[in-house]
Amino acid sequence: MADQATGQWWKDDDPLLAALDRAMHPAVDVPASFLQAAHNCYAWHLIEAELAALAYDSAVDTTELALTRAESATLRALTFEATNVTFELEIMPDGLAGQLIPPRAGQLQLQSSSGETIDIDTNPDGYFRIRPTPSTPFRLRCLLSNGRVVSTDLIPL
């Protein structure tokens, strides 16, 4: 049976061209917002940015100490680590709170998966607040005083 189907491709280009046309022109259009979100997830925004790796996420913490809590926390704590800088981040219902470690004044940028960017200044102790809580996945980018850029991966909510 497979040989018959394959043999048809070799004998006549019309079925192959029809299949290619269906693949290139699907019957259902993909929503523009979906395409933009996909592009933002995988776009190489700044090639020289160092990626801060997720080191801790309270949402998936299964340590014995975390399991002894009587009730779940109303916030989510995340830690991202890169060379010489750590992002501590708390996601709360009304916004985000965070700190750069070691403490330093700096400039952050929140980039949402929808394409929106928000500039954020940290105080001399490295603290920052963002209100309201982003409604879509986002990443944080930090420009350090030595010109280095450090970025988290997309943070899903």
Q: Model confidence over 45-68: pLDDT tens digits?
A: 555 678 899 999 988 876 655 555
Tokens 């954020």 locate to 120
pLDDT attached to residue 60: 86
Is residue 87 within 8 A of residue 52, CB to CB? The reply is yes
- Separation between Cα atoms, residue 127 and residue 143, nearest integer Å: 15
pLDDT attached to residue 138: 93
pLDDT attached to residue 32: 84
pLDDT attached to residue 1: 45
Give the list of residues 6+ apart from residue 106 with CB closer than 8 angstroms, or none. 100, 121, 122, 126, 142, 143, 144, 145
Residue-range domains of the chain with CATH: 2-39 (no CATH), 47-152 (2.60.40.10)
In the chain, which residues have pLDDT < 70? 1-10, 40-48, 62-74
pLDDT attached to residue 84: 86
Report CA 97 to chain centroid distance, whole Å.
Answer: 18
